[in-house]
Structure 1
Amino acid sequence: MASPTPLKGLELVDCARANAKQGAETAAELCGYGGNLRTFKQELKQACEDMGVTFNELSDLITDQDALMNMEGEIVAPDTPTEL
């Protein structure tokens, strides 16, 4: 759900990071900036600098942990809740 007002600071960085894989246009929309990509990127860059995070482009916010979560693997779990 898109924010009704433009996000700032940590909330902006969190929202942008969560939506970075979908592209700048989608991230800007969901963070409350609509189609104003220039302002979105300026505010995001400032928020990252304030936090000490290096930011050049949206893909900088995608971490190695995000990539690992998308890897295929096998789920190991009991067959029934009683086998815990």
Structure 2
Amino acid sequence: MAATKPLKGLELVDCARANAKQGAETAAELCGYGADLNTFKQSVQQACESMGVEFHELSDLITDQQRMLSLGEGEIVAPDSPSDL
């Protein structure tokens, strides 16, 4: 659900991080910035700087865990059957 007004601070960083894999256009729209990508990027950069988070581009916000999930990497640990629970 898109924000009705531009998000700021931690809310903006959280929203941008959650939508970073979908691209800057989608993230900007969902964070309340519509098609204004320049203002979105500047706002995210300011919010990250105030939090001490390094930010150069939107992909910087994607965590290693998110990358592994999207690549299908990692190991699944589960019983072989329901009776093995």
Residue 19 of structure 1 deviates from its aligned partner by 0.3
Residue 29 of structure 1 deviates from its aligned partner by 0.1
CA–CA distance in structure 1, aligned partners of residues 49 and 26 of structure 2 = 22
* Structure 2 gap segments, 5+ residues each: none
CA–CA distance in structure 2, aligned partners of residues 77 and 10 of structure 1 = 39
Give RMSD over aligned pairs.
Answer: 1.7
In the alignment, what sits opposite 1:37?
37
Residue 14 of structure 1 deviates from its aligned partner by 0.2
CA–CA distance in structure 1, aligned partners of residues 80 and 43 of structure 2 = 47
In the alignment, what sits opposite 1:14?
14
CA–CA distance in structure 1, aligned partners of residues 6 and 37 of structure 2 = 12
Which stretch of the first structure deviates more once superposed, 29-38 or 60-69?
60-69
Residue 83 of structure 1 deviates from its aligned partner by 7.2
Residue 65 of structure 1 deviates from its aligned partner by 1.1
TM-score with structure 1 length normalisation? 0.86
Q: Identity of counterpart residues, as a percentage? A: 66
Q: Deviations over 1:24-76 (max 9, x none)?
A: 00000000000000100000000000000010000000111111223255461
* Structure 1 gap segments, 5+ residues each: none
* 1:4-83 map, 5 Å: 4-70=4-70, 71-72=72-73, 73-74=75-76, 76-77=78-79
CA–CA distance in structure 2, aligned partners of residues 78 and 5 of structure 1 = 48
CA–CA distance in structure 2, aligned partners of residues 74 and 63 of structure 1 = 19
